[in-house]
Structure 1
Amino acid sequence: MAAPTAAELLADENAGKKIVKAKGAKNIAVGVAHILSTFNNTNVSITDMQGNVIGWSSAGRVGFKGSRKSTAFAAQQVAQDAARQAMSHGLREVEIRVSGPGSGRESAIRALQAIGLEISTIKDVTPVPHNGCRPRKKRRV
């Protein structure tokens, strides 16, 4: 028997959790998922096409503290939490914009896909300087 995929594992984990329509639900079908993954944290905020926030989450809000906030697993939990909030407003399709150099970029995208959102496009919008500020010193480990 082959090892279970990430989607199957998430399906088993989320079997008891149903997505219920929110009270002030707006019924938004298409939105944008903004994933900011820094070295220390991961933030996911889902907006409608105009930029109004439908749902958001961060590693600290989900319950991680300290260095655990920077893990890929924390990013996965953050993406699931934000997606559940957005799906309660009727969100089905999402455009993903990823920014930052963190470890949670890919796992957040996979979690959004596994929870049942249809992904239309994935864009990397990390700001790159045209030789602006001096970067921090290189680590010597």
Structure 2
Amino acid sequence: MAKGKKVKAKVKKKKKLSVPVGRLFVTSTYNNTVITLTDVDGNVLSWSSGGHIGYKGSRKATAFSAQQAAEKLIDLALSQFQMKKLSIMSKGPGLGREPVIRSFQGSPIEVTSIKDVTPRPHNGTRDRSIKRK
């Protein structure tokens, strides 16, 4: 390759998609909160999390980082996808569930339903034995 020549990469503009109805999946663990925005078919449009915003370690697990991630997705859903209605599926035991739901309820996007889809065992594995004293 010849020296001194630089090749500029072409930057494509993101097209504005019109997705009037979507779904929001909130996976809240003890370590982080991941929020995924999809269309009705389940195709991922965008995602955000406490770590994606820039927090590291235990700060990712805070309610504040989850709220900031939600606000980032709200701006994106309104500006890029022109979203009008949204249903929320929440999963997990973490601290980030409630702030995310509250943020979306306070936004211009209409929340049609909120479901808790935390996986529950139908009996599952055997419990650990109680330690003897």
TM-score bracket, normalised by the shorter chain, equals: 0.7 to 0.9
Return 5+ residue gaps in structure 2 as ranges.
1-12
TM-score normalised to structure 2 length: 0.80
The alignment partner of 1:25 has SS state of: coil
Pick from 55, 71, 85 the counterpart of residue 62 of structure 2.
Answer: 71
Higher helix share: 1
The answer for the alignment partner of 1:116 in structure 2 is 108
Q: How does 1:1-141 map to 2 (within 5 A)?
A: 23-87=14-78, 88-133=80-125
Distance in 2 of aligned mates of 1:50 and 1:44: 17
Taking only the aligned residue pairs, the percentage that are identical comes to 47
The answer for the alignment partner of 1:9 in structure 2 is none
Cα distance 1:26–1:135, how it changes in 2: closer, same or farther (>3 A)?
farther
Cα distance 1:132–1:80, how it changes in 2: closer, same or farther (>3 A)?
same
Deviation of the 1:135 alpha carbon: 6.8
Q: CA RMSD in A?
A: 1.9
Deviation of the 1:70 alpha carbon: 0.6
TM-score normalised to structure 1 length: 0.75
Cα distance 1:97–1:136, how it changes in 2: closer, same or farther (>3 A)?
farther
The alignment partner of 2:59 has SS state of: helix
Deviation of the 1:46 alpha carbon: 0.7
Which of the two has higher C-alpha Rg? 2
Cα distance 1:68–1:24, how it changes in 2: closer, same or farther (>3 A)?
same
The alignment partner of 1:127 has SS state of: coil
Cα distance 1:131–1:56, how it changes in 2: closer, same or farther (>3 A)?
same
Distance in 1 of aligned mates of 2:104 and 2:55: 19
